[in-house]
Amino acid sequence: METQQHHEQSEAGDVAADRVRIFDTTLRDGEQTPGFSMDRRAKLRMAQMLEALGVDVLEAGFPQASPDDFAAVAEIAGMLRDTTACALARCVPGDIDSAGRALEQARRSRIHVFLSTSPLHREHKLGMSKAQVLDAAVAAVERARGLCHEVEFSAEDSMRTEPEFLVEVFSAAIAAGATTVNAPDTVGYMTPAEIAERFAYLRANVKGAERVVFSSHCHNDLGMAVANSLAAVGAGARQVECTINGIGERAGNASLEEIVMALKVRGAYFGTDTRIDTRKLYPASRLLTELTGQSVQRNKAIVGDNAFAHESGIHQHGMLKHRDTYEIMRPEDVGIAETKLVLGKHSGRAALRKRLEALGHAPDDAALDDVFARFKALADKKREIHDDDLDALARGRDPDAAGPWRLTRLDTSAHLGAGASASVKLRHEDGREVAEAALGDGPVDAVLRAIERATGTGLQLSRFQIQAVGEGGDAQGEARLAARHAGRDWNGHGVSTDIVEAAAQAALAIVNRIEQHAPAAQPAASPSPRTAKTKTLGASR
């Protein structure tokens, strides 16, 4: 293990470089919140992604919380190469020793000890005096420094702590060996101006301030976590604690992707940057969504579906002339393939022509007039117009026309702990009737496999969303599916009081569009990897 002295030198060297360290706590502050828990395998996948993203410190968990947490931290610590592995501990010997053991295999390890310092917490949560808090903090840092490469001390609820006492606590923690001192806004109470003032005060008054990294950790209760973190950076903080998609206690932590992109896009203003590979921001966000099943809001900055989408005619017109008119960063900078000019009822002819051309159509002015009129009529009925709708319009077809396949029968059953099975009966408008059955991970998966098998159309699902339409127990379920087939994206949607049937209708809508688009291609449709895995249950044709 490197010596503490060596480490202190390297921290000071980094400070000179003036780079902001990204301390990711997705797997600790993020994972501990309702709806975001992950099993060990998921945590490991996320940790790999975070290291590839280039986070400086990865807080992998709270080893004393449970044997599973301990095992996950130990596994992640052994896996990380360039990223510092960090484990959380209260200022009690058992927690600190447990964190030290979990980090034994780490190339670079950090124990993060924390203790509340505010009067509210001292009196009501801890029942401790100021002197007791000081002693406990010092003892914890001293114990931790013998067990890892670097020690971070956090003063929980620091922003509601008397500033003079905070100076005392941080000075003592640094004298005891802390190399990073973190001043969290635990309850998301502060404003940017106040945070900036507090960090400036701390940096000017804490003894040993020049030897350590000051860190900010902001919660989002008033929606100011990112602004507050950036204000802390402006006042000299050189570590920011944050999470992918901003997940975390209550309203969440500061969002990593927003902080990183603010520092990049406004680099000249902040005069500092991070070492994050920003092209991995979107993939990291998507992976977290996939692992937790919790998607981000459409209009979420940086990674939301609408972050680089433009629908209004005026904006689209500007974008087509010069991207900088309505974009301050490129989607590819954050790992999103391209700007989306979403076609809907607000779109204009210029965007429609451009999209049709990209799809291989070359409408003259008269043809464009015709398609545009039908496009507007369709846009009044549908929220979004997809490429396959446009294709149908350009070919003179009604994109909403049903068929050629119809679902005539659907049976599913789920088997506790053993997946599910489904059988479907479909009728083709040419008179064919096909029945197929398949197994799947769940009823929806089984139905999709059975439909793929029955129609011979392989679908690689890229998106699957189910949401209630209306309220109450009898609300209808709406399924939206997107799939790739023959190098193109296809979309379908279905509505039913039974969500499995809604998903089946959505899948069939996609198959129908594919077949309408290229009837001749159907018999040759290559089975997708999903179909190849399908087990047929008494299939009959």
- Tell me which residues touch ligand KIV (CB under 6 A): 29, 114, 154, 156, 182, 184, 186, 217, 219
Contacts (CB under 5 A) with Zn ion, residues 437-456: none
Q: Nearest approach, Cβ of 85 to ligand KIV (angstroms)?
A: 17
Q: Which is nearer to ligand KIV, 32 or 83 (CB)?
A: 32
Instruction: Residue 89: name the closest of 33, 38, 21, 156 by CA.
Output: 156
Query: Which residue, 59 or 501, has its beta carbon nearer to Zn ion?
Result: 59
Beta carbon of residue 532, minimum distance to Zn ion (angstroms, whole number): 45
Q: Say which entry of Zn ion, ligand KIV, none residue 228 contacts (CB below 5 to 8 A, set by partner kind).
A: none
- Closer by beta carbon to ligand KIV, 114 or else 490: 114
| Contact between residue 153 and residue 180 where contact means Cβ atoms under 8 Å apart | yes
Minimum separation from the CB atom of position 114 to ligand KIV (A): 4
Residue 190: both structure tokens together: 């502060």
| Partner interacting with residue 285 (select from ligand KIV, Zn ion, none; CB below 5-8 Å by kind) | none
Cα distance between the two ends of the chain = 67
Tokens describing residue 60: 């992998």
* Bridge partner list, 23: 57, 241
**Measured from the CB of residue 24, what is the shortest distance to ligand KIV in angstroms?**
13
DSSP code at position 298 = T
Please identify, using beta-carbon distances, which residue of 159 and 481 lies nearer to Zn ion: 159
Q: Which is nearer to Zn ion, 140 or 502 (CB)?
A: 140
Q: Give the one entry of Zn ion, ligand KIV, none that residue 286 binds, where binding means its C-beta sits below a cut-off of 5 to 8 angstroms depending on kind.
A: none
Beta strands 476-485; 460-469: pairing state: antiparallel
Work out what residue 114 binds among ligand KIV, Zn ion, none; the CB cut-off runs from 5 to 8 Å by kind: ligand KIV
> Total binding residues for Zn ion by CB under 5 A?
1
Footprint of Zn ion on residues 128-187 (CB under 5 A)? none
- Which partner in Zn ion, ligand KIV, none is near 156 (CB below 5 to 8 A by kind)? ligand KIV
Nearer to Zn ion, 7 or 219 (CB): 219
Torsion, Cα 229 232 234 237, to 10 degrees, reads: -110
The alpha carbon of 152 is separated from its chain's Cα centroid by a whole number of angstroms, namely 26
* DSSP line for 53-98: HT-SEEEEE-GGG-HHHHHHHHHHHHH-SSSEEEEEEESSHHHHHH
For ligand KIV, the closer of residues 29 and 150 by Cβ is 29
Q: Which residue's CB atom is positioned nearest to Zn ion?
A: 29
Residues in 1-60 that interact with Zn ion by CB under 5 A: 29
Q: Which residue type is seen at 375?
A: F
Cβ-Cβ contacts under 8 Å for 464 (sequence gap 6 or more): 444, 479, 480, 481, 482, 503
154 binds, among Zn ion, ligand KIV, none (CB under 5 to 8 A by kind): ligand KIV
Contacts of 365 (CB under 8 A, 6+ apart): none
Which residues of this protein are in contact with Zn ion, per CB under 5 A?
29
